[in-house]
Amino acid sequence: MSDPRALSGAYVTKTHRSTSYDFISPLKLDLVGKHVLITGGAWEDGIGFATASAFARAGVSIIAIADLHGISGHVVEKLKLLATQAGRPEPIVLGCTVDIAELQSVQALGDTLSKAFGGRLDVVVNNAAHQEPQVPFLDSDPRVYWRTWEVNVGGLMNMARVFLPIQLRSKTDKADSGLCVMINVASSGALSVRTGGSSYRSSKLAILRWTETLQMEYGDQGLLTYCVNPGAIKTKITEGLMPDSVRDRFPDHADVAGDTIAWLAAERRDWLGGRYLSCVWDMEELIQEKEKIVAEDKFKLRM
C-alpha cells in the first residue's frame, strides 16, 4: 500500500524542518521599503502573526494585518518591537478588521489600505481560514460546512479582486517596481483523504488549482503566486475541533511557516510560480532541485 504521507509531499526534501533555521532567517533578508498585507493574524501563537513577525524582522516598512477578530494594540506594538530588536527601522503596523468572505468588507479594507500604502503593495499573504468540526458530511451543520468554502475559497477570491490590481500597478507603475507576490496558505490536507473535515480539505485543494490559474493569467504582468502548506502546527483554528491529545502531537512550529513565507516573498523565483510548496521542506535542498522541478513541472495538480 502506498504511504499516504509520501503522496502528500512529506518526503520531497531529505530534511524535515519543524522550526526555523539559518538559511531562511529574516535577518538575512532586505525588505526595506516594501509593503505587506497579511490576513488572519489576531493570535500571537498563529501562522499569521509568525509571518508578520518574519516580515518585521526582514525590514518591511509597512505591515497591514487584518483579521475577523481585529488586531490588538499589543500585537501591533510587539511587531514594531521585534523589528527594532532585529536592528531594523520601526515599521508602520496597521491592525485592521475584515471578514474576507464578504466582498464589501474587503473593499472597505482596500479603500483604507490603498491610502496608507500610497498605492504600493508588494506582498499579500492569504492566511485567514475557517475550519469546520471533524465529523462526517451528513453529521455536519450545513451553514458551518459551507462557511469553510465561503472563507477559504470565496475569501481569497475577494482578496484578489480588491488587492491584485493594486499589486499589478505597483509592479508596473513604480520606478522601484513592487515584488507582486501572492502567497496562499493551503494545507497538506488538500492532498489526502480522511474521515471528517471534508469541506476544509476540499477548499484547500481548490485553492491549489486557483493559485496555478492566477499565475497563468497574470504571470506575464508580473504576478508571482505560491500555495504553501504551513506544516502541522497547533493553532487556534483547531481549538475545540480536535482533541488536545491530537493537537499536542503536531510536530511543527509557526516560526518555520512565517520565516519560509517571508523568504519566498523576498526574492522573485519565477520558476517556482504557481506551485504548491511546503514550509517544512528544506528550502536550500529544494532550490538545488530547480532543473528537475522545472523540467518535470512538479508540485502542480495532475493525475
- Positions annotated as catalytic residues are 200, 204
Beta strand 92-97 with 224-229: parallel, antiparallel or unpaired? unpaired
The gap from C-alpha 188 to its chain's centroid, in whole angstroms, comes to 13
Assigned C-alpha cell, 11: 518526503
Nearest alpha carbon to residue 41 among 9, 71, 76, 21: 71
In this structure, the chain runs to a length of: 303
Residue 86 sits at the vertex; the CA angle it makes with 81 and 89, to the nearest 5 degrees, is: 70
**Alpha-carbon gap, residue 286 to 253, rounded angstroms:** 20
Assigned C-alpha cell, 227: 500555495
DSSP state of 192: -
**Alpha-carbon gap, residue 280 to 257, rounded angstroms:** 7
CB 31 within 8 A of CB 303: no
Give the three-state DSSP class for 111: helix
Look at the block and give the residue holding cell 491549489.
208
What's the one-letter identity of residue 94?
Answer: L
Nearest alpha carbon to residue 258 among 20, 84, 13: 20
Give the three-state DSSP class for 182: strand
**Alpha-carbon gap, residue 106 to 104, rounded angstroms:** 5
